[in-house]
Amino acid sequence: MLRPDAAFRAGAAAFDAVALPTGGAGQGDFAALMRDVKQDVTNFIENGGGDSDAVMGLDAAARAYLARQGMVPVAADPVSAAGQPDGLPVDGRAFLDAIAPLAAETGRRLGVSPEILAAQAALESGWGQRPIRQSDGRDTHNLFGLKAGGAWQGDSASIATTEYEGGAKLTRTERFRSYANPGEAFRDFGRLLLDNPRYQGALNTGGDVAAYARGLARGGYATDPQYGAKLARIAARLQSGE
């Protein structure tokens, strides 16, 4: 659990006091790294800390700084099943291995890197650990957070979800699509992007996660103003093989 806003403001002031090195061999690269970390921390604080996905999306150095300030749990720096830091939560690699063939198949259809689609599924489902469930506890396998609009003919589940309107965070109950298995979720997601003109900008973006995220944003895929940034951070880890 994150600490109150007062702690975030105090942490922001503390970080502003950190002097960035200038001049000297190798100092430029370090200064650039520190500026990136500072921006990560500043964005995190300005957005009220966010949820566990926001913590996961942070650079390791930014997470370590926030943990030292008591703003995120030390355990937020994820470890692999073997207990070694690797940029993924426990069981994260098992989740990625399970959806890898589906991400590859859908990626070929969309012209998008499988790592980006896997990152999106991880972001939407909490690495498979926070699935949308039916009232009886059954998993909906909704890996992309797709809502069940009026035209949806399949099964659905109603849950409380967070939306953003005019920058304000709201909680409301929405209906989400329900699938028999993850394969159905990937295929339905692929059809959505291929058939809906609103998302044409996300197609054939290859490994360019920024272009893909912009295409989704233009189509109104998510209301979270930080959605693209969260997706980009996770995708960058997967693309780098961390």
Catalytic positions: 163, 188
As given in the structure block, the two tokens for residue 44 are 């995190």
Element holding 132 (H helix, E strand): none
What is the distance of C-alpha 113 from the center of its chain? Answer: 16
Choose among 190, 188, 138, 128: nearest CA to 159: 138
Angle (CA) 34 225 214, round 5°: 90
Choose among 170, 183, 80, 194: nearest CA to 141: 183
Q: Are 59 and 237 in contact (CB under 8 A)?
A: no
Contacts of 113 (CB under 8 A, 6+ apart): 107, 206, 207, 209, 235, 239
The span from the CA of 153 to the CA of 172, in Å, is 22
Q: What are phi and psi of 186, to 5 degrees?
A: -65, -45
